[in-house]
Structure 1
């Protein structure tokens, strides 16, 4: 797992403001547009940027606390949601309920951007913890797996391998 934390993108001098931070996770840029500390914990908003270079994928996972609303801003995507396969392009709006495994892949050679609303808020901090921990030291693959397991427990998420 390759994570680069670009905390210098913050647009606020307030250390408690977790908005406008960007993290690169295996070639997908995760931008925290609006954090839960600005919404009273009701929701958070992330924007994901997928490169044109390859068909990046967020692997199959689930959230035990949050429902997601995903809006395709740009590009073509293929989603797995439970047993369904859903293809979408610009303007597609999807709602993924908690506890149902899902994944998404940008398809084709064009850029891709997703806007993801998490409600309630809190999961945006997964990226903060992952990015901050990864930026402090270069970890081995085994240490990455341990960190992911700790963060899964902390944030109620789970990657589904199999």
Structure 2
């Protein structure tokens, strides 16, 4: 039986691989490893670094699911009325349309891979995030919320509360 497969090679936009398509959004450093152009819109692959205590605002993605694979640290995810604590090697799928929050809840920074399918999350990050200048420290620049909300709406995403809140 023949199996077709596709090998994709991503061209890094920055010479320093630690800065490859990297942005700050809500205190989280996010590197886009593969986006719409590289995957034909099938998915986005994103690596995220969360300082201890950092969390996303409550939100939902209307058009794509999100899978989180934990590489380092500890994350707590509140999704669909449930709470899950994830450690290295754990993963969780958040279906499209599910209200959720992702937080780094351990004593050490959290690092994980996110697969958003189909593609969409990378667009939000690149259009609403602040480009990383290579310093590795959290960006003190808050996102332009009007622009963030507009891009979110175009993607079918909803912000459900301020950072620090949990979904209902």
Q: TM-score, normalised by structure 1?
A: 0.77
1:79 and 2:67 aligned: no
What's 2:150 paired with? 150
**Is the CA contact (8 Å cut-off) linking 2:26 and 2:56 kept in structure 1?**
no
Alignment of 1:53-64 (within 5 A): 54-64=52-62
Gaps of 5+ in 1: 1-9, 14-18, 134-139
Deviations 1:10-33 (A, max 9, x none): 8248xxxxx930011243101101
Task: Report the structure, 1 or 2, having the larger helix content.
Answer: 1
Alignment of 1:124-143 (within 5 A): 124-131=122-129
* Greater relative contact order structure (CA < 8 Å, 6+ sep): 2
1:21 and 2:13 aligned: no
Alignment of 1:1-162 (within 5 A): 11-12=12-13, 20-51=20-51, 54-131=52-129, 144-161=144-161
What's 2:135 paired with? none
Gaps of 5+ in 2: 1-10, 132-140
Runs of 4+ that moved beyond 2 A? 10-13
RMSD: 2.5
* Cα distance in 2, alignment partners of residues 27 and 117 from structure 1: 20
Q: How many residue pairs are counted as aligned between the two chains?
A: 140
CA drift at 1:114: 1.3
Deviations 1:105-144 (A, max 9, x none): 10122121010001111220111111369xxxxxx98x93
Task: Report the structure, 1 or 2, having the larger strand content.
Answer: 1
